[in-house]
Copies of this chain bind each other. A is one copy, B any other.
Amino acid sequence: MDRSGALSRLRIVLSHPSHPGNVGAVARAMKNMGLADLALVAPRHFPDPDAVAMAAGGSDLLGKARVSSTLEAALADCVLAVGFTARKREISHPAQSLREIAPEIVAAAARSRVALVFGNETSGLSNEELARCQRLVSIPANPAYASLNLAAAVQIACYELALAADAFSAPRGGAGSAATIEDLEGLFAHLEESAIASGFLDPKKPGRFMERMRRLFARTGVEREEVKLLRGLLAAFDKPKRRK
């Protein structure tokens, strides 16, 4: 299964979007998550400078967006249409949660084109539009205020699907190599000697000092470079103090 190519076969369909700023923010959200295929059904204003401004580095998606007057045209070459809805409905297929359905969407998109369909900012998808979709999805949200901004909903959808497709690894910071047990034992021995030499620790009554230090360092996950740094510090403490 070509999971990595799945994102290129995911189409975001915005039906009757009112605000060009939202269309631009959707383009940015898509590009951030590696999607590129945007379709607009009867947008109120398009093209529009507000869309370009909000798209920022994703404005190339606006230039390539397909515009149609009907939802059918936007879905024609797709094998699966997934409608996003926040509302409970009486007559319709049951809505699944986004995370639940993400693997199925990615599996379908590994071979064929799949549409993710979002409705108008105020009214959402109509019952007629929902009936064109084979799956209904909802994004779990606060029942006291479940109305997500259009671009925010698209952002969450693209993020879930990029993760389900395992498209990008998270960038990692400068993780140094972890200290070995030998490094740590050297540090603990050095610490104990220094603590005794300083007069802080009485070797006849050591109490639980070293046990507590071991616990502290066990929790943190120490790097090799950090062990070197701490032993350098201990060596400096070990030296007789110079008079000021």
Interface residues of A (CB under 8 A from B): 25, 28-29, 31-34, 56-58, 85-100, 136, 138-149, 151-152, 155-156, 159, 162-163, 167-175
Are B173 and A93 within 8 A (Cβ)?
yes
Expressed in whole angstroms, the minimum distance between the Cβ of A120 and any Cβ of chain B is 15
Chain B residues closer than 8 Å to A175, beta-carbon distance: 93-94
Contact partners of A88 in chain B: CB under 8 A: 171-174
A21 to chain B, nearest CB (A): 9
What B residues does A146 contact at CB under 8 A?
32, 171
Inter-chain contact A170/B140, CB cutoff 8 Å = yes
Copies assembled: 2
Distance in Å from the Cβ of A229 to the closest Cβ of chain B? 12
Task: Give complex CA distance A189, B241 in Å.
Answer: 98
A–B pairs, 25, beta carbons within 8 Å: A28-B149, A29-B149, A31-B144, A32-B141, A32-B146, A33-B141, A56-B147, A57-B145, A88-B173, A93-B173, A95-B172, A95-B173, A97-B169, A97-B170, A99-B163, A100-B170, A138-B170, A140-B167, A140-B168, A140-B169, A146-B171, A152-B155, A155-B155, A156-B159, A159-B159
Task: Provide the bound-state CA to CA distance between A159 and B99, in Å.
Answer: 11
Minimum Cβ distance to chain B for residue A226 (Å): 11
Give Cα distance in the complex from A145 to B85, angstroms.
28
Give the 4 A-B residue pairs with the shortest CB-CB distance, closest first.
Answer: A94-B175, A97-B170, A140-B168, A34-B142
Instruction: Name the distance in Å between A202's Cβ and chain B's nearest Cβ.
Output: 34
By a CB distance below 8 angstroms, the chain B residues around A33 are 141-142
Q: Which of chain B's residues have a CB closer than 8 A to the CB of A144? A: 31
Per a CB cutoff under 8 Å, which of B90, B99, B156 touches A156? B156
Contacting pair A92 B168 (CB below 8 A): no
Shortest beta-carbon distance from A129 to chain B in Å? 14
Q: Could you tell me if A168 and B155 are in contact, using CB atoms closer than 8 angstroms?
A: no
Contacts of A29 in B (CB 8 A): 148-149, 152
Q: How far is the CA of A97 from the CA of B86 in the complex (A)?
A: 28
Q: Give chain B residues whose Cβ lies under 8 Å from the Cβ of A136.
A: 173
Cα distance, A170 to B148, chains bound together (Å)? 14
Chain B residue numbers with a CB within 8 Å of A148 are 28-29, 32, 155
- From A90, which residue of chain B is reached at the shortest CB distance? B174
Closest to A95 in B: B173
